[in-house]
Chain A
Amino acid sequence: MIPKQSFGWKKERVIQWMLALSALLAVATTFTIIGVLGTETAVFFKHVSFWSFITGTRWEPLLDPKSFGILPLLGGTLLIVIGSGLIAVPVGLITAIYLSEYASEHFRGVVKPALEILAGIPTVVYGYFALTFVTPLLRNVLPSMQVFNALSAAIVVGIMILPMVVSLCDDALKAVPAALRQGGYALGATTFEVSQGVVVPSALSGIMASFVLALSRAFGETMAVTLAAGATPNLTWNPLESIQTMTAYIVQVSLGDTPAGGIEYQTIFAVGAVLFVVTLGMNVIAHQVMRRFREEYE
């Protein structure tokens, strides 16, 4: 035991405080995000009514008269989220089922690293891929498709979030105890029947949470949609058209050397706030689902 007055004891206290301060940086970051987005968005709403912001169907911050309806940007973002989900959710879940229920260790050893590499590829590369590979390929089949379009972007975002779905679903499936499977097999069920009747239902909370987390990634994805989906705030359900997502709008404004203080500069905070609130909400829901509905197997 070190005497409380000694140098060593003081040093211990100082170190503990410094460590605590570093840990508190995470909290400070959260409050900074909320504070900055909150105050700047409040300034924005002094000029633009909240109601016209969330219900307006025209996003024309550069035209005169200016119009700040976020629905076109939100619609563009949702188009990407839905499209990428349509790819990543089924493919991801089935891949995870195959990896956890069917595949040999050897096959897993090939697919898992490949997925890790896919997950590690920067998003700007996916954007390049969409623009120079997926779009030309699809335009052979769909000549009416525009050069910048929601479909290509949605496809590459789907590929981008696929590894996340697979890895989280795989974890969830792996957590189901072997005894449950063996019960199914003992009754003469096939592997498919065991998977869809026993394993997937048991792991459902983890699977759902993985979908929500992956879709929140798609919601906030920036570079791929900026490069491939275009810069046309366009309220449409046609994925062959050029659209603009919220993230792509923010990039567009910041590329155009916007002076601080103007209403145009404030829009990035308002749009950023929407982005932050939605993704945070999705993350909180996913973590709640995982915690509350997790079946306890002991």
Chain B
Amino acid sequence: MNNSQWKNPGDRRARKERLFKGCAIGLTTFSLVILVVLVGHVVVAGFSYLSLDFLTSFPSRFAHKAGIKSALAGSFWLMGLVFLISVPLGIASAIYLEEYNRKGKLSRFIEINIANLAGVPSIVYGIIGLAVFVRFFHLQRSLLAGALTMSLLILPVIIIAAREAIRAVPKNIRLGAYALGATRWQTVIHHVLPAAAPGILTGVILAMSRALGETAPLIMIGALTYVAFVPAGPMDPFTALPIQIFNWASRPQAEFHEVAAAGIIVLLIFLLVLNSAAVWLRHRASKKIRW
């Protein structure tokens, strides 16, 4: 130990290096630990309430009788409507920006708009939904008002993802189609879109999973917290999974917190399925297509 008379100047630097590396590993692992703790905490709290009855019962003022039937139905309705509204619009916008007006001034302006819209807090969309869809268009507190609000919220996400997927299609494919006399639309619909489809679908799934978990905009447009029926059409009032979870979590009684945890488990399972599908699609697409 003490046989060296002088300190190697490298020692201090090497120690600093080790120290930083140690801290960095610790902090990086921190996010993994948080994830495990968060999921573990929810599962431990909610597992005992999870049963088939929980999925098939309406909400109740008794914790042990409470279920998420109406919330599940509302979320499915909402997802379906959001999908029908936002996917065609999002893909159409992406096609226009990428294939029709790529370098135009209009495109540049629209692009800036989309980038900024993506950063607008979700509750602001809720305020707009309340003022425009609920009040101005008199859609009341309906599924349709919720779906339109949510569609505005996820449109930037879909457009950005679809544009990237379309941009990744090599130019040669378009040139080949044009060379055979195809029109621009024929080129897009028969060649570019099929090639970009896996990428677009991945983006769509991720956007849908965002919509599934969003709470604030739905609260703003007045999704109800107590709904003891399954909505029959898009003009019906509704509740949704995250709204129901929020309602239970905001009650003071501890048993309702456990019911909330059970609801969160269901929500997280749906999100996991959606995200796995997206990862699988991305993986498959990257393997299959070689240009």
Residue ranges of A at the interface with B (Cβ–Cβ < 8 Å): 2, 8, 11-12, 15-16, 18-20, 22-27, 29-30, 32-33, 36-37, 40, 90-91, 94-95, 97-99, 102-103, 110-111, 113-118, 120-125, 127-129, 131-133, 159, 162-163, 166, 190-193, 213, 216-217, 219-223, 226-227, 247, 250-251, 254-255, 257, 260, 268-269, 272, 275-276, 279-280, 282-284, 287
Contacts and interface: CB of A to CB of B under 8 A. Distances in A.
A251 B74 CA distance: 20
A254 B120 contact: no
Interface in B192-251: 206, 209-210, 212-216, 219-220, 222, 242, 245-246, 249-250
A192 B20 contact: yes
Interface residues of B, number: 84
Residue among B21, B123, B128 with most chain A CB within 10 A: B123
Interface of B: 13-14, 16-17, 20-21, 23-25, 27-28, 30-32, 34-35, 37-38, 41-42, 45, 88-89, 92-93, 95-97, 100-101, 106-107, 109-110, 113-117, 119-124, 126-128, 130-132, 135, 152, 155-156, 159, 183-185, 206, 209-210, 212-216, 219-220, 222, 242, 245-246, 249-250, 257, 260-261, 264, 267-268, 271, 275, 279
Nearest to B24: A98
DSSP majority for the A interface? helix
Contacts of B130: 254
Contacts of B27: 90-91, 94-95, 98
A268 B41 CA distance: 34
A128 B258 CA distance: 10
Contacts of A275: 121, 123-124
A191 to B, nearest CB: 6
Contacts of A115: 31
A272 B24 contact: no
A103 B92 CA distance: 40
Contact of B156 (A26, A102, A191, A260): A26
Given A26-B113, A131-B249, A32 B128 contact: yes
